Amino acid sequence: MECIYCKIINKEIKGEVVFEDESSLAVLDVHPLSPGHTLVLPKSHRSSILELPENQVGHLFSVVKKIVEKLVKVLNPEGFTIGINQGKAGGQAIDHLHIHIIPRWRNDGGGSIHSIVNNPPKESLTQIAKRLSQIDFAP
């Protein structure tokens, strides 16, 4: 199956582009949850943030900040929910990394990011922190 986001990036399918540079593209979501709901995509096909080269992560998030700044100037939202659905269990429907920027207003019917899942840990926070601290990152 061909990636729909790659088709939009390659201009094979029309997208409402709000920003583009050499390595990223931002388009309005075709199924918006609010006015200005935008997707920020790396131009190289990566299914998750884990596949994005380290030297591209910062730039992708700087594009997210630019889009937020544009949305503030144009739509004047009262807040934002910004996130990544990664993997099928995380709600990822299209296997191409994309960052959702969802403008928010009071009483818009949405919840906080804490309303997405309700699966509290069975281990203590101390136990989880200890396990996580034992993992070193390669230099």
Digit-coded pLDDT (tens) for 71-130: 999 999 999 999 999 999 999 999 999 999 999 999 999 999 999 999 999 999 999 999
Q: Is residue 35 part of a domain?
A: yes
Band of pLDDT at residue 139, cut at 50, 70 and 90: low
Looking at residue 136, what is its pLDDT?
86
Q: Is residue 106 part of a domain?
A: yes
Looking at residue 90, what is its pLDDT?
95
Rounded CA separation 80/105 (Å): 8
Reply yes or no on whether 98 is catalytic: yes
Looking at residue 137, what is its pLDDT?
77
Q: Is residue 138 part of a domain?
A: no
Catalytic one of 31, 37, 98, 114: 98
CA nearest neighbour of 18 among 57, 74, 82, 80: 74
Q: Which domain holds residue 89?
A: 4-133
Neighbours of 27 (CB within 10 A): 20
Token code pair at residue 31: 């199924």
**1 has a pLDDT exceeding 60:** no
3-state class (DSSP) for residue 5: helix
pTM of the model as a whole: 0.93
Q: Is residue 8 part of a domain?
A: yes
Q: Is residue 139 part of a domain?
A: no
CATH number at residue 85: 3.30.428.10
Q: Is residue 117 part of a domain?
A: yes
Average pLDDT estimate for 31-51 = 97
Q: How many domains does the chain have?
A: 1
Label residue 102 exposed, middle or buried (CB < 10 Å: 0-12, 13-18, 19+). buried
Q: Is residue 124 part of a domain?
A: yes
Rounded CA separation 109/43 (Å): 32
Q: Which residue has the higher pLDDT, 131 or 139?
A: 131
Looking at residue 130, what is its pLDDT?
95
Q: Is residue 120 part of a domain?
A: yes
Q: What is the mean pLDDT of the chain?
A: 95
The DSSP bridge partners found for residue 56 are none
Rounded CA separation 42/52 (Å): 8
Token code pair at residue 62: 């700087």
